[in-house]
Structure 1
């Protein structure tokens, strides 16, 4: 399907990636500031950790609605409103005088931060299909991968040379610039005649259709648990970096640069492979990297104490495999229900974020005291993802044998 927007593919990918960057910027930039926030606001370590949990839970909840709103009111309109809300929330975080106010504004950030990520996928699928869509998704991932690399480094510098409040002021400035860029350049990919009615009955039926689909849960779960294995290390970064690797707040790049390098190069490989091999084969290659990296990580941490390079090197190969799996799996999820693609994108994103919130709030605090336990947690995540992927493939083949489409078999 040819593009009908006035932007080139590269410029559209850059704009959508910049929107998606709000998520990692909202998380990774302030991780090095945890001790500073704790000292300034007189909060406990757990209370500061819960600012991340509050953000993730509100992010996960609202991602269920971004797509539905965009299906009814247009992709561009919802993104612009969300950017305004995020800008207000970021300024509120910068001016918070207690941990409870910070919780509140972090929740408001979570409510609005996911709009660009969720709706961006729907925009791509509105304008493209097949290999072109997969290439554009991987291009967005390549550009987007810059954020997790620079965010913790930038956050560490701001904490060292300014204060944690400066991190949220930078987010405010970034969001204002992004609002004006989207207002001027972002195309509307969903014309009025293709929009859905925004009514409780339609929404109930649509969400029920998606959540009753075994294939949706299997394919979306594959993406979610692969990301969960990475997010376990992201949410444990303050402990992993400062306590296990004995590094400082401005040295978070030792963990994040290998992770982001893998995301970038994996997305580049996915971009080059799109249309040349089947999705099944590409995903299988990706899982070889994922399982190999996770298994090596377990074995290394069983026999050795944490040391630089060897403790972070598996993250490069893990994220490389994750980026090979994600584009094809994401498009398969979006194509399950073409008429409500925004809602499907919301549900898929919500599954990723909800699992991330559980990992950040429950799993990471339990496992991050031991590098071996972190490695085992990552291995369990990728094994669950692998089982879900092959179960989804078996389910798809069974439906294909019956000559039924996925949405016809789900009632």
Structure 2
């Protein structure tokens, strides 16, 4: 079929009539703004990491309690992620993203002024409720603007820039602590959100025309979510993405314990873990851009999943034999390469299943992953924080689950 596009789901799809044309803005500028929207999540999680000891001392709470600073954010992010996408299907992409960013600024100010640990956690919950508007809806914007190999390249380029955030954020947090108290970190993330909101308003086009919007009422929102959620094809892809990404994310969520307790490094040494990991993800994303349109997306995911499992095995062997730097970060770096290839493809695959409800698909694609990552940060990481080998074994088990679900998807009719 002329002009058709082979998707990772294995179906032939023709770009929909009436789609908005790509913006006249330079591709690099669109990439920068879309990546900046996506980076809000990692900045919110990782910038505070170097301040964990100081925050714990101020509020007199232990390491396990401090893990909740991450897990409650992820939990609220995950719960609210259900609604951001459907709202953008009804109201348009830009109003939801900009409104979410403004709400995030207010939530950050609550964290800044928190008199007790409980109020700090409430502020983190509020940050999670609003942050998803930027990160989730921006994925739908990419698919609104581009299709096929072009969409794969843009998603991978955004991931390349986005991937830098977990490496940069702890360094930024550490530098902020050199000149001010830990509360200044929330001044920084609030200012970042304001800047991104301005860029979104000035640079991004509205990619969902009024004629393509869904009615804004509860039945439409719930109906769209149910249409997505009841699809077995979608569920297999979503869970495969969730577990595969979790094999990598366990090192991000557990970074304060891994870097300080297990590797015996200082509060400003998070770069020793994050820089190699992010380099791996950037390398994988770069490979995805180079192979877009040249290799069948399904075969590319096949190869990346095999690589992910091999990386997890290497990680277990290295942590069992030489659990010290630099060997301790080789496995997570290799995992990053696999994730950099797989993540853009599976995200696009899920969006392509529901071209008229991309916002709802983006929300549901994030929902399972975010809730699981919240449980991972708050429950699983404390269970496996006794040694690097325990973390590596947990990572390997998650990679196996992700690979098995992808295999099931490939073989299903």
TM-score for both structures, normalised by structure 1: 0.94
Cα offset, 1:158, TM superposition = 2.0
Answering whether residue 259 of structure 2 is matched by residue 241 of structure 1, we say: yes
**The one of 339, 346, 349 aligned to 2:356:** 339
**C-alpha displacement of 1:46:** 2.7
1:135 aligns with 2:129: no
Give the secondary-structure state (helix, strand or coil) at the position aligned to 1:102.
Answer: helix
Q: Is the 8 A contact 1:149 1:260 kept in 2?
A: yes
Report deviation, 1:160: 3.8
Query: C-alpha distance in 2, partners of 1:282/1:3?
Result: 28
Shift of 1:157: 2.3
CA distance in 1 between partners of 2:266 and 2:320 (Å): 25
Alignment equivalent of 1:379, drawn from 396, 401, 406: 396
Q: Give the structure 2 partner of residue 406 of structure 1.
A: none
Please tell me whether residue 49 in structure 1 is matched to residue 67 in structure 2: yes
* Residue among 174, 183, 197 paired with 1:179: 197
Partner of 2:333: 316
CA distance in structure 2 between the partners assigned to 1:359 and 1:236 by the alignment: 9
Does residue 39 (structure 1) correspond to residue 60 (structure 2)? The answer is: no
CA distance in 2: counterparts of 1:46 and 1:312, whole angstroms: 23
1:156 touches 1:252 (CA, 8 Å); kept in 2?
Answer: no
8 Å CA contact retained: 2:152, 2:348: yes
Distance 1:361 1:146 in 2: 24
Distance (Å, rounded) in 1 between the aligned partners of 2:229 and 2:396: 27
- In structure 2, the partner of 1:14 is 32
RMSD across aligned positions (CA):
1.3
Match of 2:242 among 218, 224, 227: 224
In structure 1, the residue matched to 2:408 is: 391
User: What residue in structure 2 maps to residue 263 of structure 1?
Assistant: 281
Alpha-carbon distance between aligned partners in 1 of 2:204 and 2:283, rounded to the nearest angstrom: 27
Q: Provide the C-alpha distance between the structure 2 equivalents of 1:164 and 1:226, rounded to a whole number of angstroms.
A: 33
CA contact (8 A) 1:28 1:151 kept: yes
Shift of residue 191 of structure 1? 0.7
> Whole-Å Cα distance in 1 between the matches of residues 136 and 80 of structure 2?
10
Corresponding residue SS for 2:141: helix
Structure 1 distance, partners of 2:171, 2:178, is 11
The 3-state SS of whatever aligns with 2:183 is helix
**Counterpart in the other structure of 1:96:** 114
Q: Which moved more, 1:133-142 or 1:110-119?
A: 110-119
Q: C-alpha separation between the residues in 2 aligned to 1:44 and 1:149?
A: 25
What is the CA–CA distance in structure 1 between the aligned matches of 2:110 and 2:221, rounded to whole Å? 32
Query: Matched residues in 2 for 1:61 and 1:187: separation?
Result: 28
Note the alpha carbon deviations across 1:23-55, whole angstroms, 9 max, x for none.
000001111211110111223333322121110
Return the match for 1:279 from 297, 316, 320.
297
Which residue in the other structure is 2:6 paired with?
none
| CA drift at 1:151 | 0.6
Question: How far did residue 134 of structure 1 move?
Answer: 0.5
In 2, Cα distance between equivalents of 1:34 and 1:356:
19
- Choose from 327, 345, 349 the match for 1:328: 345
What's the TM-score once normalised by structure 2's chain length?
0.93
Q: 1:352 aligns with which of 369, 373, 398?
A: 369
Conservation of the 8 A alpha-carbon contact between 1:75 and 1:188: yes
Contact map agreement 1:286 1:323 (CA 8 A) in 2: no
What is the number of equivalent residue pairs in this alignment? 395
Looking at structure 2, the residues matched to 3 and 99 of structure 1 have their Cα atoms a distance apart, in angstroms, of: 48
Mapping 1:287-326, distance limit 5 Å = 287-304=305-322, 306-326=323-343
| 1:194 lines up with 2:218 in the alignment | no
Supply the distance in 2 between the matched residues of 1:106 and 1:199 (Cα, whole angstroms). Answer: 29
Residues 239 and 369, structure 1, Cα contact 8 Å, conserved in 2: no
Cα offset, 1:219, TM superposition: 0.6
Name structure 1 gaps, 5 residues minimum.
399-411
- Report the 3-state secondary structure (helix = DSSP H, G, I; strand = E; otherwise coil) of the residue aligned with 2:85: helix
Conserved 8 A contact 1:67-1:344? yes
Runs of 4+ in 1 over 6 A off after TM superposition: none
Distance (whole Å) between structure 2 residues aligned to residue 208 and residue 295 of structure 1: 37
- 1:311 partner SS: helix
Aligned 8 A contact 1:266 1:323 in 2:
yes
The equivalent of 2:9 in structure 1 is: none
* Conservation of the 8 A alpha-carbon contact between 1:48 and 1:99: no
Q: Distance in 2 between matches of 1:34 and 1:261?
A: 25
Supply the distance in 1 between the matched residues of 2:294 and 2:181 (Cα, whole angstroms).
49
